[in-house]
Amino acid sequence: MRLESEAVAEALFRIGAVSSDPAHPFKFSSGLWSPVYVDCRRLISFPRERTLVVDLFQDIVGRLPGPKPDIVAGGETAGIPFAAWVAERLALPLVYVRKKPKEFGRLARVEGVVSDGQQALLVEDLITNAGSKLSFQEGLLEAGAQVHNVLVIFEYGVPGTRRVLGEHSMTLSSLVSGSALLEHGKRNGLLTPSQAKEIDSFIAHPVEWSRAHSDAAEAQ
């Protein structure tokens, strides 16, 4: 898996998906401030790189523990295109799930057809902590599906994330981790020593790094 991780890290840097500015941290939806931001959404505009991702996702699906998926679910909004490509490759039905139900029409939280007891493979672009994945699992459970496996392109590596997912019967599979991305950037001169130091500190202690830099970030 090391070669595959290296290939994805190289692709993310090549398409400009990795931004680092420790002096001007990025705020995540989880509330954390980070010295690095990985924008996997950019992959949708690069056919060669997105095909690499879908190829690797397909390989992982064949090795996943537990029951095989009956449907592929994409989390709004970044996960939807990747879920669609995986569903097409596996010849499986596609659905997508919102964090909250719509406020009009059928008030739907899951779009597409879900049957009771179906195994849903949740596909997302990345994961920081487990918050949004638990929300998506909740929506799919309400629709009648079971969710035991989550696929993401990039995993920041926030401590405790995999444990929390495990407590909700979910296993995480990622193509590249924050530490692997950092090592690739350092080895190939794609990150300055200052950037690498701050990213390394964030990966090791994300909550503490965020707290230490939140006042300055909020003042920008």
135 part of a folded domain:
yes
220 part of a folded domain:
no
Euclidean distance between CA atoms 196 and 184, whole angstroms: 10
User: What pLDDT does 99 receive?
Assistant: 86
- For residue 173, the cross-strand partners are 151
132 part of a folded domain:
yes
6 part of a folded domain:
yes
The domain total for the chain is: 1
131 part of a folded domain:
yes
Question: Is the model more confident about 219 or about 204?
Answer: 204
Mean pLDDT across 158-183: 96
- How much of the chain exceeds pLDDT 70, in percent? 94
- For residue 158, the cross-strand partners are none
117 part of a folded domain:
yes
CB 151 within 8 A of CB 124: yes
pLDDT band at 21 (very low <50, low <70, confident <90, very high): very high
Peptide bond into 77 cis (omega under 30): yes
Euclidean distance between CA atoms 39 and 20, whole angstroms: 11
Residue 1: pLDDT above 70?
A: no
Euclidean distance between CA atoms 89 and 198, whole angstroms: 38
**What tens digit of pLDDT does each residue of 70-114 get?**
999 999 999 999 999 999 999 999 999 998 776 554 668 999 999
Contacts of 14 (CB under 8 A, 6+ apart): 49
219 part of a folded domain:
no
Q: Which domain holds residue 143?
A: 2-214
114 part of a folded domain:
yes
CATH code for the domain in which residue 32 is found? 3.40.50.2020
Q: Chain-centre distance of CA 93, in angstroms?
A: 21
User: What pLDDT does 217 receive?
Assistant: 59
User: What pLDDT does 108 receive?
Assistant: 82
Euclidean distance between CA atoms 34 and 23, whole angstroms: 10
pLDDT band at 41 (very low <50, low <70, confident <90, very high): very high
Residue 122: pLDDT above 80?
A: yes
Euclidean distance between CA atoms 122 and 170, whole angstroms: 10
Residue 207: pLDDT above 60?
A: yes
